[in-house]
Amino acid sequence: MSLSISDLNFSSITLGTWVFGGTSWGGADDTECVRVIHAAIDQGVSCIDTAPIYSHGESERIIGKALAGKRDKIVLATKCGLIRNPDGPGVVHNLNRSEILNQVEGSLRRLKTDYIDLYQCHAPDPDMNSEEVMQTLNQLKDEGKIRAIGVSNFSPKQVEECLRYADVITCQDQYSLLDRRVEEGITDLVRQKNMGILAYGPLAGGVLTGKYKDEPDFGGADCRTFFYQYYKGDAFQKVRQILDELEGLGHPLCELAINWVRQQKGVASVIVGCRTVEQLEKNLVALRWELSTQELEKIDEIINK
């Protein structure tokens, strides 16, 4: 199953690559990451999502290596606007014109490609000039360096402002059973504007797989310690109660969580990360079935308690 938006063909599942490079989510073997990409292509995944901030460029470099001779099989999506903080830990938001032009050249070089299919603003820059940002991206389209424009983590108001100056085709947002903030405006907006949602975090950092029976300790450098707020104290216990009830529906929790997101209105593709071919194959099993209307209603009942 796939969805075409502005001549880009998005498979129901997009391969997410934040884990590639091994600096943000624990260890990841580069050779295995290449195998994951090849296996994904072989099994019909037509979109890969990355960003220069993922493992500080290593994710893009691994993808560039893996796509040798296979570039035409993939909708390749990357981003701009987040850079490593030169003065310490964390990241810096920067969507000024010169930085966008600098970042796109770096991504093209690391990805070993002449063009990027979907170029996304990774997150809103508090100091950004939306007109300048979109005009810069339009220039890159005119030059053939990018094919389409997307935004990520933008508010509905910010998306509408961008649409005044450019044809923005996707909004990439966090969306899961546990995080439905995207429904507060973005869902309706993308349907009105014939856009699509690229939903990331459908497994809420892995907690919705059900594999964590007790509170895990990932270590301070792991993004799960701060990006997802489900692994500690009362929040973790509440999630465990939800998962216990969801298991009563009789589906593997991983597949249920992915299918719940991909069956929501406005979702063009669900971004699912993995570090091994085995994990990839488990995720792709979700495409073989769908939740019934009754099951979707029961899931809403469980998570809205």
What residues are labeled active site?
A: 54
For residue 53, which of 84, 30, 19, 93 has the smallest C-alpha distance? 84
**CA 25 to each of CA 60, 127, 130, 208: distance values in angstroms, whole numbers, following the listed order:** 16, 29, 32, 16
Please, which residues have CB within 8 angstroms of residue 214's CB and are 6 or more apart in sequence?
none
φ/ψ of residue 64, rounded to 5: -60, -40
**CA 239 to each of CA 117, 166, 235, 300: distance values in angstroms, whole numbers, following the listed order:** 37, 40, 6, 14
In 187-213, which positions are buried (b, 16+ CB within 10 angstroms) versus exposed (e)? Answer: bebbeeeebbbbbbbbbbbbbbbbebe
> The tokens of 199 are what?
């939903």
For residue 14, which of 167, 155, 175, 160 has the smallest C-alpha distance? 175
Residue linked to tokens 């990439």: 172
Beta strands in the chain (DSSP E): 2-5, 8-11, 13-16, 47-49, 75-80, 82-84, 91-93, 116-121, 146-152, 168-174, 196-200, 267-273
**CA terminus-to-terminus distance, the chain:** 33
Q: How many helices (DSSP H) and strands (DSSP E) are in the chain?
A: 10, 12
> The tokens of 83 are what?
């850079």
Give the number of other Cβ atoms within 10 Å of residue 120's Cβ: 28
